[in-house]
Amino acid sequence: MDTKDKVIEIIAEQAVLEPSDVTMDSTLEELGIDSLGLVESIFAIEEAFDISVPFNANAPEESDFDISSVASIVAGIEKLVAEQKA
Amino acid sequence: MKRVVITGAGTINALGANVSDTLEAMREGRSGISELDIRDVDRLAIKIGGQVKGYEPEERFNRQQLALYDRFTQFTLVAAREAIAQSGLKFEGELAARAGVVLGNSGGGMTTLDENYRSVYEEGKNRVHPFVVPKLMNNAAASHVSMEFNLKGPSFTVSTACASSNHAMAQAFQMVHGGLTPVMIAGGSESMLCFGGVKAWEGLRVMSKDGCRPFSANRNGMVQGEGAGIFVFEELEHAKARGAEILAEVAGFAMSSDAADIVMPSKNGASRAISGALRDARINASDVGYINAHGTGTAANDKTESAAVADVFGAHADRLMISSTKSMHGHLIGGTGAVELLACIMALRDGIVAPTINYDEPDPECALDVVPNEAREAKVDVALSNAFAFGGLNAVLALKRFA
């Protein structure tokens, strides 16, 4: 399973949706994921990819991990995987 | 109903090992937050805290006591000894039979849990020390206070996360106010600055890596602290009859539940607790000079608390002072309201309002007088102490200057 499919699976499970309902353009807000759901999703991402995501719920915009859409989350993970596995 | 006054105070926290050192640090706007000195700190993302340093348990307790006292119990006893010594009370006969102790605490003996989990899981041992259970139970601290001081009346522990101490002190107040007992020991403690304790908080992603900056636009989370605050709540006539020194009057309290979210605060729940405390104490909103804020330094708490204060006080919100001393001692979770009550006593008795330190940038969503960075002299007649817990459980105390 590639990064994109895995991320969609994690987010769909959190949003209680089918993976087919989650697109790369979806935002977490549109999918009904609240702040607790976001923190849980990030934990699931860290576990799935064995990476550490620099995310502080108090200052999401300063976290250097863009959560504005599914596509930006996938891009962020690919970058972290490349850096942390290097 | 009986009037209730405070005739003794004690503490140990990151700012000092007693009340006078703590108040001096608050007056000077000193920070007690530093690099954590705990086992496996290199495996933590959060490496700072309001840790009590330079504390030697062996100087305060003997070997048998230390075998039974988790760190949160030790802190509680250190603070209780100071408070009860100041009050001058001896618990004997009828007074001993009626007086009790109600304390707030959230994590219980976290250090004991952490050490023993390590021993059985990590080191694979199949044997633990026989006193693990009596050390880690949440009521251990209250029980040891009752034993050391011969308190035989109503004694228990309240656990409502970050509002534990305020709920506990409200209970004690109510008992003295209602005439059930002339004296209660009240307050709270916490000690969860161990690997497992900090790791659990880290998981929630609400902790700051670099400092506690309540109400400042650049705040980025809370910083944990540890310690205890203990008070002697006494019926006014009982205190007067023996010529006791009165630190402040406890005038009322209110509690409310948000019934909404397990972690997100609610403006409505907070404002109902604040206005309820004013009503209970029969205080006009315009008489409130100082509020010791819950002020955790998280994005959500500080703006919600500011909005609740603005709602309750209207135009007077711009005239009162509100500060978060968590900027200095960190968030003591179940013990926080107790240590913060000291700032209310200082404002009422000494006319000195503790600052919110690390205040760098105004936040339009927290547009109140947060007493930035420097303590201020002011005559304060009424002070409130806010506590808003995870789980949406709120408790606010109202205190008056005793004149």
Cβ–Cβ below 8 Å for B221 and A58: yes
Distance in angstroms (rounded) separating the CA atoms of residues B321 and B99: 35
Cα–Cα distance between B254 and B167 in angstroms, integer? 9
- Identify whether B316 is a catalytic site residue: no
Q: Which domains does chain B have, with CATH numbers?
A: 4-241 (3.40.47.10), 252-400 (3.40.47.10)
Q: Given the structure tokens 């209110």, which residue do they identify?
A: B254
Between A43, A58, A62, which is nearest B206 by CB? A58
The reported pTM is 0.95
Inter-residue contact B75 to B189 (CB < 8 Å): yes
State the count of interchain CB pairs (< 8 A) between A and B: 36
Structural domains of chain A sorted by starting position, each given as residue range(s) with its CATH number in brackets: 3-85 (1.10.1200.10)
Is A58 close to B262, i.e. CB distance below 8 A?
A: no
CA nearest to B309, candidates B202, B252, B388: B388
Q: Choose the catalytic residue: B294, B329, B344, B366.
A: B294
Contact B299 A35 (CB under 8 A): no
Is residue B309 a contact partner of residue B317, using CB atoms and an 8 Å limit?
yes
Q: Quick one: CA dihedral A51, A53, A54, A58, positive or negative? A: negative
Q: Angle CA(B99)–CA(B337)–CA(B73) in degrees, nearest 5?
A: 60
Alpha helices in B118-264 (DSSP H): 132-136, 140-149, 164-177, 195-204, 236-241
B211: Cα within 13 Å, side-chain hemisphere? 16
Name B291's bridge partners.
B322, B384
Q: Which residues contact A79 (CB under 8 A, 6 or more apart)?
A: none
Using CA coordinates, name the residue in chain B closest to A43: B203
Contact B204 A57 (CB under 8 A): yes
| Per-residue pLDDT tens listing for chain B (403 residues) | 999 999 999 999 999 999 999 999 999 999 999 999 999 999 999 999 999 999 999 999 999 999 999 999 999 999 999 999 999 999 999 999 999 999 999 999 999 999 999 999 999 999 999 999 999 999 999 999 999 999 999 999 999 999 999 999 999 999 999 999 999 999 999 999 999 999 999 999 999 999 999 999 999 999 999 999 999 999 999 999 999 999 999 999 999 999 999 999 999 999 999 999 999 999 999 999 999 999 999 999 999 999 999 999 999 999 999 999 999 999 999 999 999 999 999 999 999 999 999 999 999 999 999 999 999 999 999 999 999 999 999 999 999 999 8
- Sheet hosting strand B393-400, strand order edge to edge: B156-158, B100-104, B183-190, B227-235, B4-13, B248-257, B393-400, B382-389, B288-292, B321-323
